[in-house]
């Protein structure tokens, strides 16, 4: 069995907005969500900025008691899932609940809850540890909570592949639907890595930018001046369904997911293969899965972290796959706006790919003022571009050598 898989709902919580529509509008306008860190005291850290979700009050979106029993990343995941489900119009009933799946994960889990509970434990002992803390720190906590919220009894899981987590969860949901294991899925990621330990750990491997003035200029992918990534947080969730399922209920189709590819560098824990072989393999497998040629891609949402190493290697990977056509395909990194939200970033960027198709618009790569000569492709610098986007590719290159690529196409019956 090989069924067509379509997108019917999008949900997002980001530094640009508390929903997918406002986040997309801000991205097209070139707004940056990067600002001084407020979630913890960073006076002793060289890292002063991040892309935090602004003005977050979980009780505005969910029961206050339930919110207290969720880590911040799980709150984001539940809210984004609710938005995606509302847009999709998918209703969970006794007739279909075993045919729906949840694949939502976090690469870091409840960093915030873990930090808070360790501090309580050290100061006051075990009796002051949050009794809900176990489920709040687990990387599968958001998937479990979404499953419980909607009474979904199909496979519920969390695939964790560092920065490729969001893509891999969407990709595996796509395969389960295509192969007839389930008819629909809630898929994506949720993440809150902006904690003292999260920042310190990544800074110890020379990954984070130390720029802070002005904050919006801290993340500069493909630019000669780039000095590291900026952490972000949020959630990206989409509802995927088989075409038959959607047609039976007369729902609106946003786009079609036609390809997924994944690979491993098998090279180094923190550094990608210098020739971009792993990233290229993921793209080639996605193209093969989609049964299209590289030249048919209208837009690539790049991993584009703004680190010295990643941007050059990703450029090489694109060239390995696209050849001379690499110079013709528009590419952009949206991380100067959303930050790098680790496991959920790829899911957020997959949503941007669907929105690019719907609006025929490509979001810009902010802060690209002095391109690195080794990054010589069309990275859509500074301002958005209006152009026909029929097929969009999203790339994710994760720590540990995890690579994933998704391909979306404008739906045509």
Catalytic residues: 163, 303, 340
Q: Are 338 and 51 in contact (CB under 8 A)?
A: yes
Under DSSP, the state recorded for 246 is H
Q: Are strands 255-264 and 5-13 parallel, antiparallel or unpaired?
A: antiparallel
**Which phi-psi region, left, alpha or beta, contains residue 298 (left: φ > 0; alpha: ψ -120 to 50)?**
alpha
User: CA 156 to CA 147: how far, in whole Å?
Assistant: 7
Closest residue by Cα to residue 386 from 366, 365, 356: 356
Report whether 179 contacts 2 (CB < 8 A). Answer: yes
CA 250, 255, 256, 261 dihedral sign is negative
Give dist(CA 343, CA 308) in Å, integer. 21
Q: How far is CA 290 from CA 4, 183, 293, in A?
A: 11, 20, 9
| CB proximity list for 161: less than 8 A, separation 6 or greater | 107, 168, 262, 343, 398, 400, 402, 404
Alpha carbon 306 to chain centroid, angstroms? 16
Helix (H) or strand (E) holding 200: helix 196-204
Q: Tokens for 232?
A: 């972000």
Q: Which helix (H) or strand (E) holds 156?
A: strand 156-157
Neighbour-count burial of 320, counting CB atoms closer than 10 A to its CB (0-12 exposed, 13-18 middle, 19+ buried): middle
Q: Do 335 and 304 meet the contact criterion of CB atoms below 8 Å apart?
A: yes
């Amino acid at each position: 069995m090989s069924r067509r898989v379509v997108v019917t709902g999008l949900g997002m919580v980001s530094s640009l907005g508390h929903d997918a529509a406002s986040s997309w509008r801000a991205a097209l306008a070139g707004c940056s969500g990067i600002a001084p860190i407020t979630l913890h005291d960073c006076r002793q850290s060289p890292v002063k900025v991040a892309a935090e979700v602004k003005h977050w009050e979980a009780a505005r979106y969910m029961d206050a008691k339930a919110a207290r029993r969720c880590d911040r990343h799980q709150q984001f995941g539940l809210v984004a899932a609710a938005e995606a489900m509302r847009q999709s119009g998918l209703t969970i009933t006794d007739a279909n609940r075993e045919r729906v799946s949840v694949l939502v994960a976090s690469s870091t889990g409840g960093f915030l809850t873990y930090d808070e509970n360790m501090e309580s434990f050290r100061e006051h002992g075990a009796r002051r540890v949050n009794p809900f803390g176990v489920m709040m720190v687990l990387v599968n906590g958001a998937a479990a909570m979404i499953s419980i919220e909607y009474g979904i009894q199909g496979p519920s899981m969390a695939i964790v592949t560092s920065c490729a987590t969001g893509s891999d969860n969407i990709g595996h949901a796509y395969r389960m639907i295509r192969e007839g294991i389930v008819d629909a899925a809630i898929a994506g990621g949720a993440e809150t890595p902006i904690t003292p330990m999260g920042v310190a750990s990544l800074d110890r491997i020379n990954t984070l930018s130390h720029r802070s003035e002005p904050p919006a200029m801290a993340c500069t992918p493909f630019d000669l001046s780039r000095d590291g990534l900026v952490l972000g947080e949020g959630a990206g969730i989409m509802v995927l369904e088989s075409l038959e399922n959607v047609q039976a209920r007369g729902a609106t189709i946003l786009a079609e997911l036609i390809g997924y590819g994944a690979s491993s560098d098998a090279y180094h824990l923190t550094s990608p293969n210098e020739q971009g072989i792993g990233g290229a393999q993921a793209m080639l497998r996605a193209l093969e899965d989609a049964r299209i040629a590289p030249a048919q891609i209208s837009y690539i949402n790049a991993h584009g972290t703004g680190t010295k190493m990643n941007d050059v290697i990703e450029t090489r990977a694109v060239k390995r796959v696209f050849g001379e056509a690499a110079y013709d395909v528009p590419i952009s990194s949206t991380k100067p706006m959303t930050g790098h939200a680790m496991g959920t970033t790829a899911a957020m960027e997959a949503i941007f790919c669907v929105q690019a198709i719907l609006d025929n618009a490509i979001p810009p790569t902010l802060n690209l003022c002095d391109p690195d000569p080794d990054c010589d492709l069309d990275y859509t610098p500074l301002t958005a571009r209006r152009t026909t986007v029929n097929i969009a590719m999203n790339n994710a290159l994760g720590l540990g050598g995890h690579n994933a690529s998704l391909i979306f196409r404008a739906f045509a019956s």
